[in-house]
Amino acid sequence: MAATAITRAILMGNNRLVLECLKQGENPHLTCRKTGRSYFHVVASTATADKELQWVPVVYQLSNAGVDVDTKDREGQTAVRIAIKRRLVQILAALLKCGAEFSAADEYYADQAAGVVKSEMMNVIRRLTPGYWAAIDNFTHSKVNRLIKAWSRVNISRNGQTLIEYAKHNAGDTSVVKSLVHNEASIELAHAVMAGDAERVRVILCDSAADLATTDTSVKNSFVPLTLFEAAILYRHDNILSVLKEISRAKSSTFVKPDTNTDFFKSSSGDCGSSSSQYFRKKSESGSMGNLSNVIYYGSNNSVGGSDSVTSAMCAIF
């Protein structure tokens, strides 16, 4: 039995093909029956340090599709642990921005690195950990703001409760909740850009809360924050760059909100109305955007050479 289409695309380092597989209905939630590994594990086990940026978009694609970033394999390892052991700094950063947990054991393995790689890895860990949950528990609101400015995902849940709902009951400061709500759509936009998902970018931009001017201030050794345009260039998403330029021009020429009847707001399934209506219905009363994965990825049940489980071929690569 052959490996799934998603597995093959990941092994090739072809993030565009992974995205196409997801859009065609491939199941992103599969795990290997033998090893217990998810596609996040496959990414962390396959990516190479010299061409790491080819695989980073896949992390955001899987996260956008609702895959659990903290899944453990049969050995109790998460994708974060594997990325640390393999010294994949950019993959680690992407996983943390998608809400992955970081443990004391993970820090131990990170400390085993040496030289420049260790410095870069520790810089990422310092900037992106602890995550939102711990920051809220410890009332470190400055850390919440730093995570927001680093494009760390707000649209996450734990034990059936969204981060925003959790913050409402535990932050002790309404400004924290307001900040999370205010930036949620913009961070979703950033993750769609880094995933290379033009359709998702268009849908999210139908929400007036999404800010084209959002920036990532966590970029290493940079005094200038990373813009959405620069992120598209960094990950070689020419299609996204075109969309951003087009929409930016349109927004600058309109008075209030973009005209949803214009062509650049249309997705393959129709105009902004059909997709965005699903998008807005998924918002909870708390202001949380909910899970956008069903809006974009699961409109089709057609498989691209996939199978019902991650096969023995996938297991064999570990």
Task: Read off the CATH number of the domain in which 20 is found.
Answer: 1.25.40.20
Contact indicator for 190, 228 with CB cutoff of 8 Å: yes
Q: Are residues 154 and 251 in the same domain?
A: yes
Longest dimension (CA), the chain: 57
Mean pLDDT of 55-63: 99
Question: Is 161 domain-assigned?
Answer: yes
Mean pLDDT of 217-236: 88
Question: Is 187 domain-assigned?
Answer: yes
Q: Are residues 136 and 121 in the same domain?
A: no
Give residue-wise pLDDT tens across range 1-16: 248 999 999 999 999 9
Predicted pLDDT of residue 304: 35
Residue 40 clears pLDDT 80, i.e. is over it? yes
Task: Give 297 or 243, the one with higher predicted confidence.
Answer: 243
Give residue-wise pLDDT tens across range 299-314: 333 333 333 333 333 3
Q: pTM of the full predicted structure?
A: 0.83
Mean pLDDT of 33-43: 97
Q: Are residues 118 and 78 in the same domain?
A: yes
DSSP the chain: -PPPHHHHHHHHT-HHHHHHHHHTT--TT--BTTT---HHHHHHHH--GGGGGGTHHHHHHHHHTT--TT---TTS--HHHHHHHTT-HHHHHHHHHTT----HHHHHHHHT--HHHHHHHHHHHHHH-S-HHHHHHTT-HHHHHHHHHTT--SS-EETTEEHHHHHHHHSS-HHHHHHHHHHHHHHHHHHHHHHT-HHHHHHHTTSTT--TT-EETT-TT-SSPEEHHHHHHHTT-HHHHHHHHHHHHHHHHSSSS--TTSGGG-BTTBSHHHHHHHHHHT--TTS-----HHHHT-S----SS--SSB-HHHHHT-
State residue 130 phi and psi, 5-degree precision: -70, 165
Contact indicator for 83, 91 with CB cutoff of 8 Å: yes
Give residue-wise pLDDT tens across range 133-175: 999 999 999 999 999 999 999 999 999 999 999 999 999 889 9
Q: Are residues 16 and 124 in the same domain?
A: yes
Question: Is 302 domain-assigned?
Answer: no
Predicted pLDDT of residue 285: 39
Q: How many domains, in total, are found in the chain?
A: 2
Predicted pLDDT of residue 291: 46
Predicted pLDDT of residue 305: 36
Q: Are residues 115 and 142 in the same domain?
A: no
Predicted pLDDT of residue 207: 73
Residue 130 clears pLDDT 70, i.e. is over it? yes
Question: Is 303 domain-assigned?
Answer: no
Question: Is 93 domain-assigned?
Answer: yes
**Residue 318 belongs to what domain range?**
1-129+308-318
**Confidence tier at 206 by pLDDT (50, 70, 90):** confident
Residue 273 clears pLDDT 90, i.e. is over it? no
Q: Are residues 283 and 149 in the same domain?
A: yes
Give residue-wise pLDDT tens across range 75-128: 999 999 999 999 999 999 999 999 999 999 999 999 999 999 999 999 999 999
Predicted pLDDT of residue 282: 40
Predicted pLDDT of residue 251: 76
Q: Which residues on adjacent β-strands are paired with residue 270? A: 267
ω into 57 cis (within 30 of 0): no
Q: Are residues 59 and 1 in the same domain?
A: yes
Question: Is 182 domain-assigned?
Answer: yes
Question: Is 53 domain-assigned?
Answer: yes
Q: Rounded to an integer, what distance in angstroms lies between the CA atom of residue 225 and that of residue 235?
A: 16
Mean pLDDT of 289-307: 39
